[in-house]
Amino acid sequence: MKNSLVKGAALLAASVLGFAGLSLTPANAATKTSVTVYESSALSSLNPSTPATNLVTNTDVVYPTGMGFAYYDNGGNLVRNTKFGTYKITKNVTGDFEVTYTIKKGLKWSDGTLITGQDLLLSHILASSDYSLKAGLGDTNVAPKFDSGSYGGPYDSHTTATSVDLSDDNYSVTVKYDSFQPDWAILGPGPSPVHALVALAKGKKALQTVRTNASYKNVFEDAFYAAIDDCGTGADLDQDCQDAKDAAQALLKKIGTKWSTAFNITTVNSSTNPLLLISNGGYKISNCVDNVSCTLTRNALYNDGPAITGNVDTIVYKYGFSEAAAATALNNGEVDVYDGQPTSAIYAQLKGYSGVTTVTTTTMTYEHLDLRVGTSNTWPDQYTNSCPSTYTGPFAGNSQRAKDLRTAFLLTVPRQAIANLEIAQLFDPSSTAQSAVLNSSFLLPANKAYAGLVKSSGISNFIDTTDAQRTANTAKALALVKKYYPSAAAGSNSVDVTMLFRNNARRIGENALIATEAAKAGFNVSRTGNAAWSTQLNCNNYDAHVFAWAPSSVSQTGTNANFQSDGSNNHYGWNDATVDAATHALEGSLTAAQLSATYLAAEKAIYANAWSVPLYQWAGVAAYNSDLKNVKPSPLVPNIVWNYWQWSY
């Protein structure tokens, strides 16, 4: 299932699975019309738009199967896809900002069904909390029928249940906002095969006729509007309206359950319901083997995006084996593209291969460390039911004690050593160079406002560029811990901290550095990684979390989902009025000076609360078969496959 709302939320950057010795099918067939891509993590769902499936690999796999109004190129530029349609501002007055999206007529889904404006309506359901409530689909902060990760963003804040209009010819949708949105170009809807969702809700297990699918589109449209109708009350109740409303809500609830769960499959074969595999991108999923691979083949009806100019008929994603095995497979011609997380040894290995092009790339993916404050403000899911319902760890709450202990722990984090390990020492294990530490949770160093933000935000309290700073930071941390644990000392293990991290080389190395330094201030940090780390982010068992955010767009509001009290990426119970006010202000039109001041206000509050610290911007590495042309790594997700239509041998 493709993302149905283009938004600036980051995705979880997944990590290597670590299984070695897997036998691969050689990719170097004589005709060479197939590209095999190595992914660090296995596929977990064909729908990357739920909180639990918001993973890079899931997005990479389904990206070639979907197309919408725009895409990002390798320069981070938003490119309008006029083959699919057009979008423009159609009203911009105080209190009424409207954008209209028009689909080009004649485009078809892979099952032959026309793509129409009705296919854009699902986006509103997935992103509007007001719609979810008024349509009887549930409170999006508890357990909505559509378990979407798009709630809580600027679209949600500035639209209502009735903010979407469908044109009479069914090819245009107009979205009404209550004010100008700076990210309007990426907030809009994307297509979903709503006829397939209706068929799934009706229990169908086969593709339907084009005529039937057209009727199902009308069923979905009717339900979309009837579910939020005002039918009156008491003596003014319109019973026919109410009956239609009840039926519409019942249907949408069934569709919500299917959307949220039916696509969570990792095996695709002849027994798979084909309704789950309908595509409008250049390729469609034809076969997936659990924890091994996923194969995409050409979509013969694709005509709503950039023309496929290359000779690649098949894209195969391989996973479930180690980085070392992947590098060897690339050298042997069994893999064509390596899109992994290399160690220094593997990087050197890749550089030494003939017939392989290895490049360092610019990436906006960044590592960070977060501390839990309370129970997740996002809705529970199937992975958190076994976790404690309340967080009672050392960092719980907003008392001075909790803030002091959180501050103490963040002071011990050896950010400089971690950056050195993952950047300079990645390319040269003997390097003693000081790598760039990331010092903002909102901006990357290339942004011209970055330096000013870093100077005043409070991150300077956690800088440890020199040995003297590192020693001083740890001493400050120990002093804070001793306020509550008088006998605390180096090695005392006075405060237990359970850390959630992926058990691959990158995170094991980071955990070791953190645990060693934190021990000097009396902390006892757990040392065991978790292969299922991404499913445990809401779990109250964990006090600290280390992973990476991988942005999928360039957005003024892209980090809101991470820090707002109701943000879909806020897994830790963070809640601060200053942060909420600042991030909501980012949803408006701001001058450069106002924008910098707003970021600064949010960042100051985050560090004052000791919620999180950034660590480093990833050093990107890509390697590929030198015979494969037009591989152009992007700083955004999807990093490698964004221009699959240009790939050629």
Distance between CA atoms of residues 587 and 567, nearest Å = 14
State the Cα–Cα distance between residues 155 and 5, nearest whole angstrom.
10
Closest CA to 335 of 601, 640, 550: 640
Q: Would you call 240 exposed, middle or buried from its count of C-beta atoms within 10 A (0-12, 13-18, 19+)?
A: exposed
pLDDT at 566: 86
Contact 171, 102 (CB under 8 A): yes
Which listed CATH number (3.10.20.30, 3.30.70.20, 3.90.76.10, 2.40.40.20) goes with 68-261?
3.90.76.10
Q: Shortest CA distance to 369 belongs to which of 574, 549, 493, 149?
A: 549
Question: Is there a shared CATH topology between the 68-261 domain and the 366-617 domain?
Answer: no
Contact 38, 330 (CB under 8 A): yes
Round the CA-based radius of gyration of the chain to a whole number and report it: 25
Query: Residue 10: its pLDDT value, please?
Result: 38
The C-alpha atoms of residue 193 and residue 214 are separated, in whole angstroms, by 11
- Rounded Cα distance between 581 and 395, Å, is 24
pLDDT value, residue 627: 96
Measured from the Cβ of residue 348, the count of other Cβ atoms closer than 10 Å reads: 16
- What pLDDT, in 10s, does the model give residues 527-547? 999 988 988 999 999 999 999
pLDDT attached to residue 385 = 62
**What ranges do the domains of the chain cover?**
68-261, 366-617
According to DSSP, the residues that pair with 500 across neighbouring strands are 545
In the predicted model, residues of the chain with pLDDT beneath 70 are 1-31, 377-385
- The tens digit of pLDDT for each residue in 393-405 reads 999 999 999 999 9
Is the domain covering 366-617 a CATH 3.20.20.70 domain?
no
pLDDT at position 379? 52
Q: How far apart are the first and last CA of the chain?
A: 29
